[in-house]
Amino acid sequence: MSVKELLKSHGTPPREVYFDLENSPFVPKEVVEEMLPYFNKYGYGNPAITHKPGWEAYGVLLEAKEFIAKTICAESPEEIVFTHSGTEANNLAVLGIALKNRKRKGKIVVSAIEHLSVTFAAEYSSKLFGHEVAVVPVDEDGFIDPEIFEAYMSKDVFLVSIQTVNHEIGTIQNIKELVKIAKDYNPDVVFHTDAAEAYARLRFSVKDLGVDLVTLSSSKIHGPRGAGALYVRRGIELEPVIRGQISVEKLWPGAENIPAIVGFKKAAELAFDNFEENVKKMKNLRDMLMEGILDRVPDVLVNGPRGNLRAPDNVNVSFLYVEGEALTIELSLRGIYVSSASACTSRMLEPSHVLLAIGRKYEEAHGSILFKISRYHSEEDINYALENIVEAVKRLREISPIKGVKNE
């Protein structure tokens, strides 16, 4: 069946609830409207060029840097480097520092549940420069034990990269404590945190955390694709990873994507307006969905921690005796859009490395579903989802080839 035929046979469900914000954002009207003029009137302005449209583009670029710097308590807007995605920012952080250290033997420390753009960049550095990559394990909820982390520190560690919030199971790591351990051991170690899943949902200050490099991504906060950023603390030296003609961003050459940067800034403004209210709403909806599933569906495992150390927008559960892919399709027919693993692995049909790292068995990892909650969801959306999740899981379990399945 072609994709067109598949979509035609899909029908129109009574309601549609989009929970797959991890794989693809939806961009609200206010953000799109803010971006539109920069595709036509100002879109031709390249901020590196000295004419009026160029200056105008340069002006909006600086305003965006200023706003984003303020939201993470950076000292200066110059510490914000725009890339075109979080993946690029992670690569710039890891490979930029690795390149700087290419002439020495040394070690990069990452956690077992990093986004693959960090893990693969560290592995690439090992291949290119012979750096050792040490992978710190996590416990059953995805937390790093500080004592175990300390055991990974040694004088040859030049970079640590540990994410603030995990993208699949929502674990909020104690970055401040890990930075202290790493810097007490060696003040010269560079500490990078991938905060793509934390930004605009947790308040944090780069000064308070003590981090040197921080990754942000527009598409994780209802901004458009095509913009990401790396905070680079003043004094931290990185080498550019890609080469190209002169642009404003010396560390990430290539013409800046001005409409996307404008959208990134607007999305951040919307998230930080009524921040506490937005987060409270997300937490309530998160708990309503999670508790509703646990109350109404038997044989479900929660992946990741419960309570305040879980990101406000993350619900990840494994439905035992059900294939995650089959459930995403069944839910899609009912207008509920979710993913069965992280963005990077769902098409590979490989069990998620994050779920395996927290000790899930292969089949438990395969039955996992990720729901990302946003402030744009409503209680009606959650009730509709719950009703359909109960029915969909029941139906799939009835036809499941796996023995010993119980239904209520």
Ligand X SMILES: Cc1ncc(COP(=O)(O)O)c(C=O)c1O
Residues that bind ligand X (CB under 6 A): 22, 85-87, 90, 115, 117, 163, 167, 194, 196-197, 217, 219, 228, 343
> Is the sign of the CA dihedral 300, 306, 307, 313 positive or negative?
negative
Residue written as token pair 């909006």: 60
User: CB 334 → ligand X: shortest distance, Å?
Assistant: 25
288, 387 in Cβ contact below 8 A?
Answer: no
165, 171 in Cβ contact below 8 A?
Answer: yes
- With CB atoms as reference, the residue minimizing the distance to ligand X is 86
Q: How far apart are CA 249 and CA 241, in angstroms?
A: 12
Q: Which is nearer to ligand X, 342 or 388 (CB)?
A: 342
100, 239 in Cβ contact below 8 A?
Answer: yes
Q: Which is nearer to ligand X, 17 or 216 (CB)?
A: 216
Can you read off the two tokens belonging to residue 266? Answer: 């607007």
Residue written as token pair 């899981």: 393
Q: Which is nearer to ligand X, 92 or 392 (CB)?
A: 92
Query: Taking Cα atoms as reference points, which of 2, 17, 31 lies closest to residue 387?
Result: 17
Q: Which is nearer to ligand X, 86 or 335 (CB)?
A: 86
Per DSSP (E only), the strands in 240-393 are 300-302, 314-319, 336-337, 368-372
Q: Which is nearer to ligand X, 227 or 392 (CB)?
A: 227
User: CB 235 → ligand X: shortest distance, Å?
Assistant: 25
User: CB 22 → ligand X: shortest distance, Å?
Assistant: 6
Active-site hit among 108, 110, 344, 369: 344
Q: Is 73 a catalytic residue?
A: no
- Which run of H or of E encompasses 157? strand 157-161
Q: Which is nearer to ligand X, 195 or 331 (CB)?
A: 195
215, 87 in Cβ contact below 8 A?
Answer: no
Helices and strands (DSSP H and E) totals, the chain: 14, 12
Q: How far apart are CA 188 and CA 191, in angstroms?
A: 9
CA distance to 61, 106, 263, 327, 369, per residue, from 54 (Å): 10, 42, 18, 49, 45
* Active centre residues (catalytic): 344
